[in-house]
Amino acid sequence: MWCSVTATCASDVPVKQRIGVLGGTFDPVHFGHLRSAIEVHEALALDELRLLPSARPPHRGQPGCSAEQRLQMVRLAIQGASGLQVDDRELRRETPSWTVDTLHSLREELGQQPAIFLVLGWDAFCGLPGWSRWEQLLELANLVVLQRPDCDLDLPEVLKDLLAARTTEAAVADASHGQIICLAQTPLAISATRIRELLGSGRSVRYLLPDAILDYINQHGLYRP
């Protein structure tokens, strides 16, 4: 099911603009997010991949620091990373951060022509049936599902059917929306939950996230008990 990022992918079919979107709480951003972002960008020959922090994540408790701080950490993390950008549209909105609304907003900005690739880790993909108006997501974007070595959730039946019907090889994924691509990337068992736990118990998180983020966390006294 998983297609490898080492395969020659869609670089020979640059028919339309190709935009990736990796949404998340980024509480804080870590190498699991960043390495995945780079590998998806390359595997799908994207023009850009946007990291899109959620302001008010509807499916989880209050983040460990403010939306502005999470946004600032994402900005710091991608400095100098070619092809990666930050999209702060969810922080500019007053309403909850429903992904379907975010994709509508992206379509308003980009139009119908570009291929949009919504990137989800396996855990997020398994939780999709709990998302608001989730069936509409494939009318607005393609889905890119990433392996997560730290997650062994079972796929709900409804998603098994969806995968069977919509899965496409990365090398031929050129629709503007409606396709699902399962990508194997460098497996990194890093989670923000674990990073917050380590910081909360006074332990080191060095080498789990960029030094610039660690400096920011220390300067602002984030995630401490």
Looking at 27-35, 77-85, 164-172, 200-208, which segment touches ligand ATP (CB under 6 A)?
A: 27-35
Residue 158: how many other CB atoms lie within 10 Å: 12
> CB 189 → ligand ATP: shortest distance, Å?
6
- The answer to whether the beta carbons of residues 109 and 68 sit under 8 Å apart is no
Concatenating the DSSP letter of every residue in 153-167 gives PPPPHHHHHHHHHHB
Give the span between the Cα atoms of 112 and 100, in whole angstroms. Answer: 15
Question: DSSP 3-state assignment of 208?
Answer: coil
Between 31 and 48, name the residue whose CB sits nearer to ligand ATP.
31
Q: Which of 36, 99, 102, 179 binds ligand ATP (CB under 6 A)?
A: 36
- What tokens appear for 88 in the block? 């702060």
Residue reference for tokens 């503007």? 176
> CB 193 → ligand ATP: shortest distance, Å?
3
Give the span between the Cα atoms of 115 and 100, in whole angstroms. Answer: 16
84 is an interface residue for ligand ATP by CB under 6 A: no
The number of residues in the chain equals 225
- What tokens appear for 172 in the block? 């031929």
> CB 129 → ligand ATP: shortest distance, Å?
15
Residue in 83, 118, 75 with CA at minimum distance from that of residue 99: 118
186 is an interface residue for ligand ATP by CB under 6 A: no
> CB 13 → ligand ATP: shortest distance, Å?
26
Between 9 and 73, name the residue whose CB sits nearer to ligand ATP.
73
Burial class (CB in 10 A: 0-12, 13-18, 19+), 64: buried
Between 6 and 193, name the residue whose CB sits nearer to ligand ATP.
193
210 is an interface residue for ligand ATP by CB under 6 A: no
| Strand ranges across the sheet with 142-146 | 3-4, 180-184, 142-146, 115-121, 18-24, 48-53, 84-86
Residue in 11, 13, 21 with CA at minimum distance from that of residue 49: 21
Between 153 and 165, name the residue whose CB sits nearer to ligand ATP.
153
Q: Which of 19, 120, 126, 137 binds ligand ATP (CB under 6 A)?
A: 120
> CB 72 → ligand ATP: shortest distance, Å?
15
69 is an interface residue for ligand ATP by CB under 6 A: no
39 is an interface residue for ligand ATP by CB under 6 A: no
26 is an interface residue for ligand ATP by CB under 6 A: yes
Residues at the interface with ligand ATP (CB under 6 A): 24-27, 32-33, 36, 120-121, 123-124, 146, 148, 188, 190-193
